[in-house]
Amino acid sequence: MEYSPYNPLDKINLGSSVADALLNSCVHKLGFLEPFNGAGIYAIYYSGNFKAYELLAKENSNGKFSMPIYVGKAISPGARKGNFGLNNLPGHAMFNRLKEHADSVDAAENLNLNDFYCRFLVVEDIWIPLGEALLIAKFSPILNKLIEGFGNHDLVSGRYKQIRSKWDTLHPGRSWAFKCTSRTDNLKQITLEINNYLIHIL
């Protein structure tokens, strides 16, 4: 039997070290972050009593925070133009992204922002996409894989004929989302999807 030598500089191993560093970082209340500089990766956790997320919340009870509901990234403005790793100044890129998520939760009629927590890690631009991809592959967070729309921004005028996202159907509240076309699946159907999905991944 042959064994492949471990290469600590392999991109997957480097990316795993970034992901592990995030998971070992401190947990913060999503709604009470102070502005900070930096870009990087983050994980958001839910621990409330919304019925559809009951199984997920149990994984994050008693301070465990073992199953994120969403994983995301925030990159420097220059990185969006392909300038990864070229000393872009990130400003408040990650804080601003987390604040957008907090605002989406706060707008939802059936969620409490106090039930949401996060971990975040400031990372050099070049490692951000790989770190995010590995975390999504590891956890298959429900808001990344099944309930799309959590990270959406307000649509520009003329695009409101798009179908309303599952997030905005499940958690109505963002004013611009009401302008989108209603979905054919209803709240009960989406809730059943969530329950089946969580049973499968947990």
pLDDT at 78: 62
pLDDT at 177: 87
pLDDT at 77: 75
Residue 18 makes CB contacts below 8 A (sequence gap 6+) with 41, 121, 123, 127, 130, 131, 134
pLDDT at 116: 98
* Spans of the chain, pLDDT less than 70: 5-9, 11, 13-15, 78-88, 155-160
pLDDT at 35: 96
Helix (H, G, I), strand (E, B), or coil: what is residue 139?
helix
pLDDT at 162: 86
What pTM was estimated for this model as a whole? 0.90
Residue 79 makes CB contacts below 8 A (sequence gap 6+) with 39, 88, 125, 128
Instruction: Kindly state the helix (H) or strand (E) to which residue 166 belongs, with its residue range.
Output: helix 166-170
Residue 153 makes CB contacts below 8 A (sequence gap 6+) with 100
pLDDT at 50: 97
pLDDT at 155: 66
Q: Are 76 and 90 in contact (CB under 8 A)?
A: yes
Q: How far apart are the first and last CA of the chain?
A: 34
Length in residues, the chain:
202
Beta-carbon count within 10 A of 7 CB: 10
pLDDT at 102: 98
